[in-house]
Chains A and B, each alone.
Chain A
């Protein structure tokens, strides 16, 4: 029982991060039909930038804010300088651009920062809370609470504000949205910026638990993408559910099966989902008209 609780707790924690990454994917995908492989790098940049800015003597909260702003700026730059100029390219070409961007950011991080692992102090101390025989880190609770807050805020925003409606409109039919006066370019800017911010926050939150380094982005992007696919790409609810599911399955696989193959779980899930249910759990199957 204690073991079970432990797996659930760690699974949900890391799952929450996957969910945030998946949410970032989904937001950009909905607004622009692009799969942004650099999503994971936003998480990496959030954590690493905070670390290095605090090392320079800046107090942690300010450092975190700076990191979020820097990452958001990078997200915007990605859209303006890498994606926008290539509009009209095939979906695969666009994926290649974001993959290139992800490798580029990774390579830059390697130079600007360093190749070592780094950590941040947890928000409420490092003493685990005992719960039913399982040891739960306070930071885990912070992660879960923040993720819930972010998802709720995002949902409220999309549902209740005019800008949110504009995002939905752009997602549904880009041309129609433009015809009614929505500046779709700004909407996509916005989606990149928000995704980057969400990614950065996720990175800052998880660093006290899982550490960070220049290359954590790639694996995170892939797992976040797996989560988005599992949930059904284009479905925000699916992204969250997918993320939590993958986190849990990973934790259980690592616990009961083999911790070496933990990473393989997400990739196996990608293959299984794509082959058997390509539209994911909450997505809609596409009908191709000739």
Chain B
């Protein structure tokens, strides 16, 4: 089943075509990676798919429904979740509370109940706490639950965002450079988390620069350059594509890509 289909998306910012006629089709349960040099439009594409930008041209279908132009919160309620390249952590709240917010779309108490703290609210708080703790355990942060989110290390914060997105129980998870700024150990952790998430049937769309991670974990890879599709295929197909090697992987990148398969 195609969970996400984008058809000839385009968007222009002040005269610059950031994304120009890009089409992608993602099957449910896959790990789909988007790679490309800096400025190729990867995050813009993410922002288009997650509703933060509205495309000037083209359409997006999510789980069979047309969702072009919908707001991010509307998409979230349909089961689409994402993390951010420049972390958007709720730094004033604790680690646990951050993830609890992730579960918000499933919480069902109203404002009056919340103000009066009906028993249903206490029950909901408990239930949400359970979900959040489980999500934290999956990313290996269960011990940090009570700490203020702002006090965590960078790599841990990346995993926190993933836990938060997981708590929303999405069908599709967009990960925006989850390994950026992470050392090899942290990157291994991210790899492990992604694999375990995929086992649960959640589709993952990944934007990444770390070639080993991408080649190791992806089912399909889509290469962007200057806002346009350069190539798409399996990791093997992409890494041996001469156009891709020229534009993006270069000498070092190709070597990294090959090493991923050792």
| Chain A interface residues (CB < 8 Å from chain B) | 287, 290
Contacts and interface: CB of A to CB of B under 8 A. Distances in A.
Nearest to A284: B14
Contacts of A287: 13-14
| Chain B residues touching A, range | under 10
B84 A290 contact: yes
Interface of B: 13-14, 43, 47, 52, 84, 86
A287 to B, nearest CB: 7
A290 B47 contact: yes
A290 B14 contact: no
Contacts of A290: 43, 47, 52, 84, 86
Contacts of B86: 290
7 contacts: A287-B13, A287-B14, A290-B43, A290-B47, A290-B52, A290-B84, A290-B86
A287 B15 CA distance: 13
B56 to A, nearest CB: 14
A287 B14 CA distance: 9
A62 B13 CA distance: 55
Contacts of B84: 290
A35 B84 CA distance: 31
A290 B84 CA distance: 9
B257 to A, nearest CB: 29
A287 B43 CA distance: 16
A287 B52 CA distance: 12
* A-B residue pairs, 7 tightest by C-beta: A290-B52, A290-B47, A287-B13, A290-B84, A287-B14, A290-B43, A290-B86
Contacts of B52: 290
A290 B52 CA distance: 9
Nearest to A287: B13
Contacts of B13: 287
Contacts of B14: 287
Contacts of B47: 290
Nearest to B43: A290
Nearest to B50: A290
A144 to B, nearest CB: 39
Nearest to B88: A290
A7 B43 CA distance: 55
B177 to A, nearest CB: 13
A287 B53 CA distance: 11
A284 to B, nearest CB: 10
A287 B12 CA distance: 12
